[in-house]
Amino acid sequence: MPDTDTDTDTDTAPYEILFEDQSHGYPNPLPTPNDLDGSEVLLNDLDFPSSTRLARFQEKYVMKFGFRVDPIEAHNMLYVTKSTTVPIPKVYAIYQRPEGQYVITYILMQHVPGETLMTLWGSLDQARKTAIARTLRAYFDQLRQLPHPGYVGNIMGGPPLDDMFSATVGASEVVKTSFATEDEFIDAIVRTYSFETGERMAHKLRYYQHVLPTHLRGNGAPVFTHNDFQRKNIMVQPDGTDGTLVIIDWEFASWCPTYWEYATATWANAG
């Protein structure tokens, strides 16, 4: 269960500790939201707090934070770490605190050195690309073997973490929980499309209602899905060996039909 202790130092802004790694002692206290002023900014958007920001502490820690950062991303990572040997950043802590009308989530995790596969891909020969593909296939084979909870949705029992359901106006008011079957999931896709397009695409809506239930067919058992699998989310560490590929950005990970990873990866890499 989350730790609900709250920092009460009057000289600092209060924050709630949702999770803190207690697996072993650290020589120094873990960084907190109150240490951000002394951090190195890796990603900064002027549209804070609605944006996501990244800050690095020393060479070991990265803090991801913002209004749109959700604790479930860290819980996805903790689940993968506990259940597989897939290399991902270690999660050290989850914090939250109010800032004005917003509640900001802070995820403290391991800093992974290296470059993204997106940056390196064009410089790699075919043998290296094949080796990377095989390594990633082995990682995803592990994810596919995790016992599913009997629904399509996120690990907390809500709907799949996908912009299709969260960013479409009107859809989030209807799609509020997980789906018991693939048919319910497909029906939600069709309904979401209708929210987004309205009457102007009624002809396409009728087409999708007829075609998708027939063509989107998995094996009926959802699998744990990264749901944003693309080269920018694969870190290649400096030593360059095939075993040093680290998968990052687990914010959309969910239990989805077997074809969903392929579908979202194809869309993400279309450009």
More confident call, 92 vs 189? 92
The number of beta carbons lying within 10 Å of the beta carbon of residue 228 is 21
113-271 domain in CATH 3.90.1200?
yes
For residue 155, what are the CA distances in angstroms to 149, 151, 177, 180, 231? 8, 10, 11, 14, 24
Report the residue count for the chain: 271
The residue-averaged pLDDT of 103-109 equals 96
pLDDT digits (tens, 9 = 90+) for 184-230: 998 888 888 887 777 777 888 888 788 888 878 878 799 999 999 99
pLDDT > 90: percent of the chain: 57
- Range list of β-strands (E), 183-253: 223-225, 234-236, 245-247
Which residues is 98 bridged to in the sheet?
A: 103
Is the pLDDT score of 241 beyond 60?
A: no
d(CA 196, CA 94): 34
Find the DSSP H helices in 21-70.
none
d(CA 161, CA 182): 16
d(CA 27, CA 19): 19
The residue-averaged pLDDT of 72-100 equals 96
Please provide the distance, in angstroms rounded to a whole number, between the alpha carbons at the two ends of the chain: 41
Q: Which residues, 6+ apart, have CB-to-CB distance to 233 below 8 Å?
A: 116, 226, 247, 248, 249
CATH class of 16-110: alpha beta
Q: What are the residue ranges spanned by the domains of the chain?
A: 16-110, 113-271
